[in-house]
Amino acid sequence: LYVDHPLSEGQSIPLEREQAHYLFGVMRLTTGAYVALFNSRDGEFVAEVAEAGKRGGVLTCVEKTRELQMPPDLWLLFAPIKKARTDFIVEKAAEMGAKRIVPVQTDFTNSERIRQDRLQAHAIEAAEQCGGTYVPEVADLQKLDRLLTDWDEERQIMFCDETLVGAAEALGDVKDGKWAILIGPEGGFSDVERKRLHALPYAHAVSLGPRILRADTAAVAAMTVWQQQLGD
Ligand code: SAM
């Protein structure tokens, strides 16, 4: 269970209503039961249910069971698409170990608003389900143009461009360290965006094969390629 609370031995953790509902209503845990907790900072702890109520409860941290496993410094930048597909992208990015997920508004992005809180909840659920100790931060929607203007040049960009022909660039030859994967919207990138990205020395245009993939498929494929070449 993910909690936004410091974790250490003996620490009491108050539960929010939804967490109490899940643990005591859905999972049917009662006082004395044990729960695995993590908070993206202190690793994983086993905690005991001290108080169980319908609207809340308290857990007591017993002992640390795992150290924090920080993901690699990989961001996923993607243009939000339909709701269910956007949810899918966030879920898969959290499972595959992205450190930060950034929805971006590009020239051809259809949606101008996202529910950041909903997407963050999806990331938490995905991390909980795959036994992670870290939940990626989901940022609010940002304009690609602005993001590139303020870009930290130390962070390499794996720019997924379906108009390229040939195999994916060997990213391992480029640079280890901070990375961001960039996936375009259903309509792809505009010529202006493509030109700008191709001119950036820290952006590496990559093909994900000869077929045009849907943006959600492309996000998973790109993370797999990155993981295979640079992940640990
Ligand atoms: N512009 C295209 C069109 O309308 O024909 C489709 C864009 S595609 C559905 C969405 C995004 O997925 C692209 O902007 C790109 O980032 C990524 N993508 C899809 N297929 C790809 C491929 N074969 N290689 C690299 N990137 C790909």
CATH, residue 177: 3.40.1280.10
Question: Is a pLDDT exceeding 90 seen at residue 165?
Answer: no
Question: Do 17 and 40 share a domain, yes or no?
Answer: yes
DSSP string, 72-112: PSEEEEE---SHHHHHHHHHHHHHTT-SEEEEEE-TT---S
Ligand 1 atom index nearest CA of 210: 23
Question: Do 21 and 54 share a domain, yes or no?
Answer: yes
Residues having CB within 6 Å of any atom of ligand 1: 160-162, 183-184, 186-189, 207-209, 211-215, 218
Instruction: Examine the fold and report which residue of 20, 49, 66 is the final residue of a domain before the chain moves on.
Output: 66
Question: Do 124 and 28 share a domain, yes or no?
Answer: no
89 φ/ψ sector (left φ>0, alpha ψ -120 to 50, else beta) = alpha
28 φ/ψ sector (left φ>0, alpha ψ -120 to 50, else beta) = left
For position 175, what pLDDT does the model report? 64
Ligand 1 centroid, distance to 188 Cα (angstroms): 6
Question: Do 47 and 161 share a domain, yes or no?
Answer: no
Average pLDDT over the chain reads 93
Question: Do 54 and 159 share a domain, yes or no?
Answer: no
Question: Do 28 and 49 share a domain, yes or no?
Answer: yes
The answer to whether residue 52 is domain-embedded is yes
The answer to whether residue 4 is domain-embedded is no
Question: Do 58 and 157 share a domain, yes or no?
Answer: no
Q: What is the pLDDT of residues 19-61, one digit of tens each?
A: 999 999 999 999 999 999 999 999 999 999 999 998 999 999 9
The answer to whether residue 3 is domain-embedded is no
The range of the structural domain enclosing residue 101 comes to 74-230
Q: Which residues contact 140 (CB under 8 A, 6 or more apart)?
A: 103, 114, 116
Question: Do 157 and 100 share a domain, yes or no?
Answer: yes
Q: Which two tokens stand for residue 4?
A: 């936004």
3-state secondary structure 148-194: HHCCCCCCEEEEECCCCCCCCCCHHHCCCCCEEEEECCCCCCCHHHH
Ligand 1 centroid, distance to 58 Cα (angstroms): 47
For position 173, what pLDDT does the model report? 66
Decide if 143 contacts 165 (C-beta within 8 A).
no
> How far, in Å, CA of 222 to CA of 215, rounded?
10
Per-residue pLDDT averaged across 99-123, rounded?
93
Question: Do 155 and 225 share a domain, yes or no?
Answer: yes
Ligand 1 centroid, distance to 51 Cα (angstroms): 51
Choose which residue among 76, 212, 216, 226 to substitute to test ligand 1 binding: the one with the highest number of ligand atoms within 8 A of its C-beta: 212
Question: Do 56 and 111 share a domain, yes or no?
Answer: no
The answer to whether residue 164 is domain-embedded is yes
What's the domain count of the chain?
2
3-30: string of b/e by CB count within 10 Å (b at 16+)? Answer: bebebeeebebebeeebbbebbeeeebe
The answer to whether residue 181 is domain-embedded is yes
The answer to whether residue 141 is domain-embedded is yes
pTM: 0.91
Q: What is the pLDDT of residues 177-208, one digit of tens each?
A: 899 999 999 999 999 999 999 999 999 999 99
Percent of the chain with pLDDT over 90: 84
Q: Which residues contact 158 (CB under 8 A, 6 or more apart)?
A: 171, 179, 180, 181, 182, 204, 206, 222, 225, 226
CATH of the domain at 20: 2.40.240.20
Banded pLDDT at 111 (limits 50, 70, 90): confident
The answer to whether residue 79 is domain-embedded is yes
For position 162, what pLDDT does the model report? 92
Question: Do 117 and 215 share a domain, yes or no?
Answer: yes
Considering only CA atoms, which of 215, 181, 208, 212 is closest in space to residue 80?
A: 215
Ligand 1 centroid, distance to 14 Cα (angstroms): 45
Ligand 1 atom index nearest CA of 182: 16
Q: What is the pLDDT of residues 68-96, one digit of tens each?
A: 999 999 999 999 988 899 999 999 999 99
Ligand 1 atom index nearest CA of 185: 10
Question: Do 27 and 87 share a domain, yes or no?
Answer: no
For position 174, what pLDDT does the model report? 66
Q: Which residues contact 83 (CB under 8 A, 6 or more apart)?
A: none
The answer to whether residue 7 is domain-embedded is no
